[in-house]
Each structure stands twice: as structure tokens, then as C-alpha cells.
């Protein structure tokens, strides 16, 4: 018997550390080759790390929520044969205190993932991905994905940089259907519902649920993405009893809904709703939720916000929108208000370039952009994300509507392309029908402005001495007062207002 150490691989160019968000194994478990052992999160994606070889888990390299460096020890396995770790054996050229890499011997024994036991970061691979250790004996073509990580924000395919001998190469996934989408999973990796010791509140399933359980072989783990597993955990659903309708039995959000509708526990009959409740559920702020919290805190800490709210009469705009949908909705697609707002912002920003900008406050440099890369704040099951509509200035209303729908759906499904999640120069946010009267949106750092859309309502208004019914809506916007003066912010919003209240101006260059 030998020891095999699996280290945190290099999963992206420029990524030096990741956050551990879930373990799929525990000490004493027996793992199979390619079985997922952990979920880790980068700034952009949640990635599943598989086992390279079969073996028995001896130790884990950290706790959920811990930040691990690339090269840190992730899992230590007991395996058949010599393994890849030998005490006090260092590779040629290694600095004192380090042991061999995955290709030879490993570090000297020590706390997993800490101190001298952590190997140096490996060089980044090709753009868009990097090398990942592969199971021996399986053929891989150069540049073919060695592993797909299903992301809460994006799906990241990590290609192997060199061809390896063996069987047939791994087939690269096809696009998911939305333009610019990610990749479909290539490897039939097994997934399991991850649980944190402090939040293991998934209820035991009732007998009725077990009778409708998906037929799985003993020990078989349900196949689901991290977002689906997290949703199941939040809803108290054990994935072992959920039928997966996707490829290879993969469980989707729709499958969770179907299970809840058909097998969920009914409310107790004859039980009073006026009863005391004493339950508590500690929820560690980890993963994407922690990233969102850190980004919001950083934005409020570094940016002196000020907000400006203006009422806009969108009666004529709404009439135009409905008319265009009647004429062209069946052939070009339906229009919401967002494409009109995006177009108005594009036109108004030409006269206010200091608002379409990013501020590097560390370097003391404001960069103004001619292109409008419009961030679209989108609520997803995993939290708030801001996919980006690049070059919004080049799109007509229908192209803009289709692009907004595409990037928003990509964010919700976890299939947004990597470049669709960064690079925005100004953000548009809307709560739709729940938009309220006014809000104070938080600027998406390092941008300097955000425009928020509130609910459209019909209200009485004086017009020509008469009270008339009009469709009114507020724009609630926030600005970085270090870069944008109050007068300029007001003039910008007034320019947007003029365009929206006279919508014919949206089509005049």
C-alpha cells in the first residue's frame, strides 16, 4: 500500500487561490477514479475536483470556507502500489522544505494544505483554462478538457496542455444553446449533495418519497451541479430520492420542483398554525454568497455613494413598446422596457463620458470608455450576478433585448461565458414588478455609476390644466462622488429622461 496526495490544481490563468465550498468525501471513505472529492470556488466559478486514482481517504486538506493556495494538499489517499508521496524525498531543484510534485514524491508530512507542505503554484496553462492531473490510462488530446467545473457563474473547462496516450480522447462539449454559453459536461462525474456540519438540516425523506425514489444502484451518487445541490440543501431535499431527467440521469432545478410537487411532505391535518417555534439554523457565509458580501462591502467602503431619483413619464414609451410588439413580436421577439433604457443610456453617455468609466483608486486613474459595456444585474438561485452586455452601443432594440435575455439566462443557469461576467463600464439594475417606489443601488466597483429601474405605475397627473392618467416610473441611480459631480449626475439622468419621454429621439443619431 502507498500514499497518494491530490493537490489543488491550477484551474485558471492568474488564479493563485480558491475557496473550499464543499467536501464530497470524508476520512475513511473509499473513492473511485474520477469521483468528485470537493467543490472549490474562484472569483468566477465553482469547480468540482475529481480523484485521479481510486483509494481510501486518509485526511482532508482543509475545512469548508477555508482559502487554499494552488498546490496545497487537498486529499491524502491510501492506494494500491507505491503511490506518489515519499517521506523526505524532494525533487531536483526543489527548495528546502518541499517534496516532489504529483509526478514524483510529495512534501514531508505536515498539516494538509498549510506551511511548508504546500507546493508552489504551477504555471498557468492556456488562456481560458489550465492543466489538471488526469487519471492514468485514459487518452486525452492536446487542449481537450480534462474536467468541466459546473459554475454558479460560469462553467470552466480545464484543458490538459499535452496529449496523453491511451484510449479515445475526451469529446469536447457542445454549446448549451445560448450564444456564448459554456460547455456541457464531458465526463460522467458522480455528484453528491454536499453538507456542511453546521448546516446539515436536510430532513429525512418520508416513506412516500422513498417509494417514488429514483432507481439507483447501492452506493451510486446522484448527478447534479453545485447550484442544484445547493438549492436542494436549502429546500431540504435529499437528492438520493430525486429522479434526474437530464443526460446520464443528471438532476435539474425542474426535477427538484417535480419531486417537491409529487413527493413532498403534506402539511399536518388539524394542526394549529399558532404554535411556538424554536428552531435555529446557522448558515455559514461561504462560496458565492461570501464573494457577493465581500464585493458589496468593498464597494461601500471605498466608494462615497450619492443617489439621485427622478420621476419619468413613460406613457408614450409604453405605447410604442406595445405597438412594436404587436407588429414584430412574432418575428423579432418581444421587447421589455430594458432595451429602451439601455439605448437611452448609450445615447446620454456620449455627452457624459465621465459616467461611463472605471476608477482605479489604488492607482488614482479614471479610465473613460467609448464603448458601453452594460452590466445587467441579475438575480439567480446562487445570488446576485452581473453579466455584461458588451458593446451595447452597437445593438438595435431587438438585438439588445435578445442579448440581455441571453446573458441573464446564462447567469441563472450557470452557463455564462467567462467574458460575459466581467468588463462592465456601467450597470443597469431592475427589480421588475417588485421595483418599489425608489431605491439606492450599490455601485458595482470599480464602476462609477449604476442606474436602477423602479416599478411602473399608473397615477393621476396634471397636464394642460387637466388631471389625466399617466404611466410613471422612477429611476434611482447612484454615483461615485469622487468622480461624478452632483450636477453632472442630475444632467445625465435628465438626458435619459428626455429620451424616454420622447421615444422617437431614441432612433435619431
Is 98 a catalytic site residue? no
- Check for a shared fold between 1-142 and 304-507: no
CATH architecture assignment, domain 304-507:
2-Layer Sandwich (3.30)
Question: Taking residues 402-427, what's their average pLDDT?
Answer: 90
With 70 as the cut, is the pLDDT of residue 95 above it? Answer: no
Distance CA 21, CA 18 (A): 9
CA dihedral of residues 489, 493, 494, 499 (deg, nearest 10): 150
Among the residues of 119-187, which ranges form H helices?
Answer: none
Instruction: Name residue, grid cell 464597494.
Output: 299
Question: Taking residues 87-113, what's their average pLDDT?
Answer: 39
pLDDT in tens, 483-492: 999 999 999 9
pLDDT in tens, 342-351: 999 999 999 9
Question: Taking residues 444-466, what's their average pLDDT?
Answer: 94
The pLDDT-based confidence of 72 (bands split at 50, 70, 90) is very high
Q: What is the CA radius of gyration of the chain?
A: 26
Catalytic residue among 360, 396, 419, 485: 485
User: Chain centroid to CA 347: how far?
Assistant: 30
The pLDDT-based confidence of 219 (bands split at 50, 70, 90) is low
pLDDT in tens, 284-337: 888 778 888 889 999 999 999 999 999 999 999 999 999 999 999 999 999 999
CA dihedral of residues 81, 83, 87, 88 (deg, nearest 10): 120
CATH number of 1-142: 2.40.50.100
Q: Which of 125-129, 218-222, 437-441 has the lowest mean pLDDT?
A: 125-129
Which residue pairs from 33-39 have beta carbons closer than 8 angstroms and sit at least 24 positions apart in sequence?
33/135, 34/135, 34/187, 34/188, 34/189, 34/190, 35/189, 35/190, 35/221, 36/189, 36/190, 36/191, 36/192, 37/6, 37/74, 37/75, 38/74, 38/75, 39/194, 39/226
Question: With DSSP H G I counted as helix, E B as strand and the rest as coil, what are the percentages for the chain, rounded to 5?
Answer: 25, 25, 50
Q: What is the largest CA-CA distance in the chain?
A: 92
Give exposure, 428-438, as e/b (b: 16+ Cβ within 10 Å): bbbeeeebeee
What does 1-55 look like in DSSP terms, one character per residue? -EEEEEE----STT--EEEEEEES--TT-EE-TT-EEEEEE-SS-EEEEEPSS-E
Phi, psi of 162 (to 5 degrees): -130, 145
pLDDT at position 291: 84
Is 361 a catalytic site residue? no
pLDDT at position 160: 39
Of 364, 420, 338, residue with least CA distance to 151 = 420
**For residue 38, with 0-12 CB atoms within 10 Å meaning exposed, 13-18 middle and 19 or more buried, which class applies?**
buried
Q: Which of 119-123, 278-282, 454-458 has the lowest mean pLDDT?
A: 119-123
Q: Which of 40-49, 133-142, 312-321, 355-364 has the lowest mean pLDDT?
A: 133-142
Distance CA 153, CA 407 (A): 11
Phi, psi of 505 (to 5 degrees): -65, -20
Catalytic residue among 243, 305, 328, 481: 481
> 220 in helix, strand or coil?
coil
Question: Taking residues 80-102, what's their average pLDDT?
Answer: 53
| Cell numbers describing residue 260 | 417537491
Delimit the domains of the chain by residue range: 1-142, 304-507
Please, what is the Cα angle at 447 between 442 and 451, to 5 degrees? 50
Distance CA 453, CA 456 (A): 9
The three-state (H, E, C) secondary structure of 460-500, written as one string: EEEECCEEEEEEEEEEEEEEECCCCCHHHHHHHHHHHHHHH
Per-residue DSSP letter, 447: B
pLDDT at position 215: 56
Question: Rounded to two decimals, what is the model's pTM?
Answer: 0.57
Distance CA 128, CA 284 (A): 31
pLDDT at position 473: 94
pLDDT at position 272: 54
Amino acid at each position: 500500500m502507498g500514499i497518494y496526495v491530490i493537490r489543488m490544481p491550477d484551474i485558471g490563468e492568474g488564479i493563485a487561490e480558491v475557496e473550499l465550498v464543499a467536501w464530497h468525501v470524508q476520512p475513511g471513505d473509499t473513492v473511485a477514479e474520477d469521483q468528485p472529492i470537493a467543490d472549490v470556488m474562484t472569483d468566477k466559478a465553482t469547480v468540482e475536483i475529481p480523484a485521479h486514482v481510486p483509494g481510501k481517504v486518509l485526511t482532508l486538506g482543509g475545512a469548508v470556507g477555508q482559502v487554499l493556495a494552488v498546490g496545497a494538499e487537498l486529499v491524502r489517499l491510501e492506494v494500491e502500489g507505491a503511490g506518489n508521496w515519499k517521506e523526505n524525498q524532494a525533487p531536483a531543484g526543489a527548495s528546502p522544505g518541499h517534496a516532489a510534485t504529483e509526478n514524483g514524491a510529495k512534501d514531508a508530512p505536515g498539516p494538509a494544505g498549510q506551511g511548508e507542505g504546500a507546493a508552489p503554484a504551477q504555471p498557468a496553462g492556456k488562456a481560458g483554462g489550465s492543466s489538471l492531473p488526469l487519471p492514468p490510462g485514459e487518452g486525452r488530446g492536446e487542449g481537450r478538457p480534462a474536467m468541466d467545473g459546473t459554475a454558479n457563474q460560469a462553467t470552466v473547462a480545464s484543458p490538459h496542455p499535452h496529449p496523453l496516450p491511451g484510449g479515445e480522447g475526451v469529446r469536447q462539449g457542445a454549446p448549451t444553446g445560448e450564444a456564448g454559453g459554456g460547455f456541457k459536461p464531458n465526463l460522467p462525474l458522480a455528484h453528491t449533495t454536499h453538507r456542511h456540519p453546521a448546516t446539515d438540516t436536510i430532513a429525512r425523506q418520508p416513506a412516500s418519497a422513498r417509494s417514488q425514489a429514483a432507481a439507483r444502484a447501492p452506493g451510486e451518487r446522484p448527478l447534479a451541479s453545485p447550484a442544484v445541490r445547493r438549492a436542494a440543501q436549502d429546500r431540504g431535499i435529499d437528492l438520493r430520492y430525486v429522479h434526474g431527467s437530464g443526460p446520464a440521469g443528471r438532476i435539474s432545478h425542474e426535477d427538484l420542483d417535480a419531486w417537491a410537487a409529487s413527493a413532498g411532505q403534506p402539511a399536518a391535518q388539524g394542526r394549529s398554525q399558532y404554535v411556538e417555534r424554536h428552531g435555529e439554523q446557522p448558515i455559514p457565509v461561504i462560496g458565492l454568497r461570501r464573494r457577493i458580501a465581500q464585493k458589496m462591502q468593498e464597494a461601500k467602503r471605498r466608494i462615497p455613494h450619492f443617489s439621485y431619483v427622478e420621476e419619468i413619464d413613460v406613457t408614450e414609451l409604453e405605447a410604442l413598446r406595445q405597438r412594436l410588439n404587436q407588429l414584430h413580436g412574432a418575428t423579432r421577439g418581444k421587447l421589455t422596457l430594458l432595451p429602451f433604457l439601455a439605448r437611452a443610456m448609450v445615447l446620454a453617455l456620449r455627452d457624459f463620458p465621465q459616467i461611463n468609466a472605471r476608477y482605479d483608486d489604488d492607482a488614482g486613474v479614471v479610465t473613460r470608455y467609448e464603448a458601453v459595456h452594460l452590466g445587467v444585474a441579475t438575480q439567480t438561485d446562487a445570488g446576485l450576478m452581473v453579466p455584461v452586455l458588451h458593446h451595447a452601443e452597437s445593438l438595435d432594440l431587438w438585438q439588445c433585448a435578445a442579448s440581455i435575455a441571453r446573458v441573464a439566462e446564462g447567469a441563472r443557469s450557470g452557463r455564462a461565458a467567462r467574458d460575459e461576467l466581467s468588463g462592465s463600464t456601467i450597470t443597469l439594475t431592475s427589480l421588475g414588478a417588485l421595483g418599489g417606489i425608489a431605491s439606492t443601488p450599490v455601485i458595482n466597483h470599480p464602476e462609477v455609476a449604476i442606474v436602477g429601474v423602479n416599478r411602473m405605475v399608473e397615477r393621476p397627473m396634471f397636464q394642460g390644466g387637466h388631471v389625466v392618467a399617466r404611466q410613471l416610473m422612477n429611476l434611482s441611480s447612484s454615483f461615485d462622488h469622487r468622480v461624478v459631480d452632483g450636477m453632472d449626475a442630475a444632467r445625465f439622468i435628465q438626458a435619459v429622461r428626455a429620451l424616454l419621454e420622447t421615444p422617437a429621439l431614441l432612433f435619431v443619431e
